[in-house]
Amino acid sequence: MEFVAIDVETANDDVASICQIGAAHFRDGIVVEEWISYIDPEDYFSKKYIAIHGIDSQTVSDAPTFSEISASLNRFLDQNIVVCHTTFDQRAIKRVAVQNGLPIPECTWLDSSLVARRTWDGISQRGYNLANVCKIIGYKFQHHDALEDAKAAGQVILAAMKHVGLNLDGLIKKTEKRINTRYPTSIKMEGNKAGVLYGEVIVFTGALDFSRPEAAKMAASVGCDVAKSVTKKTTLLVVGDQDVKLLAGHKKSSKHRKAEELIQKGQPIRILAESDFRHLVESR
């Protein structure tokens, strides 16, 4: 049984702004090889992200660019099952490869957060971020170090295999089954009146690492009313990845543009990246 677990850290909200990559090769439940590198993202560092992982422009001043390590990384990933926690890392690597005209790793991706949701009942409601899942399985690690996070994602897979009594192939097949989340299909929901964010009205736009109903459930659980469109009642807009084919020539979605228009008129709307939304919800 073999797989590679991977994690990336980014310099800012752009998923392609990779500033650190860590990977761990697991064989028969043991890490047999590790790979880690700081990356010069050729982009700016956001103070918010520096506060999360402690990496800044000085840290990567002598680091290689993604183009310079791409071949080495692909040799580590190609023809392997590659584990990452949520699809963020997969999207980041694909995005930066495409931007630089580089080959995308030829591998089978496995989302350990999806595995966790298939394995432990109620985890979607309790929170399936890496730190929370590792608390459930009793694994301690240094969060927001790429290699530490990669090894933690690998441990989630090992714990899930043990919990359900399946090998890696069986676990992959299990993730292909649809989750019964028991969430309403509509993304319009009333917030929990006891939630700390009660009174906030939240709207989502773009693709997220989890389904829109799941995002709505998470927001409502901490008090947010979830709405379908941006109005004068909106206080929060969460912006995910945008499909340029659906933007009709614009750089931002209609919800995003509407929110900015209302902000210009004095309406206090906060625009959040998905990572900000996760932090906002999971810290409550």
Chain segment 261-272, per-residue pLDDT in tens: 999 999 999 998
Q: What is the pLDDT of residues 196-252, one digit of tens each?
A: 889 999 999 887 777 788 888 888 988 999 999 999 999 999 988 655 444 556 678
Q: What is the pLDDT of residues 122-166, one digit of tens each?
A: 776 667 789 889 999 999 999 989 999 999 999 999 999 999 999
Half-sphere exposure of 196 (CA within 13 A, CB side): 6
Q: Is 139:148 a contact under the CB 8 Å cutoff?
A: no
Q: What is the DSSP letter of 83?
A: E
Residue 249 pLDDT: 62
Give domain 2-175's CATH number out of 3.30.420.10, 3.40.50.1950, 3.40.630.30, 3.90.1150.10.
3.30.420.10
Contacts of 115 (CB under 8 A, 6+ apart): 156, 157, 160, 171, 174, 175
Half-sphere exposure of 127 (CA within 13 A, CB side): 18
Q: Is 111:86 a contact under the CB 8 Å cutoff?
A: yes
Total number of residues shown for the chain: 284
For the 201-282 domain, the top CATH level (class) is alpha beta
Q: Residue ranges per domain, the chain?
A: 2-175, 201-282
Diameter of the chain measured on Cα atoms: 59
Give CA separation, 195 vs 78, 88, 190, 227, 284, in Å: 45, 28, 11, 17, 9
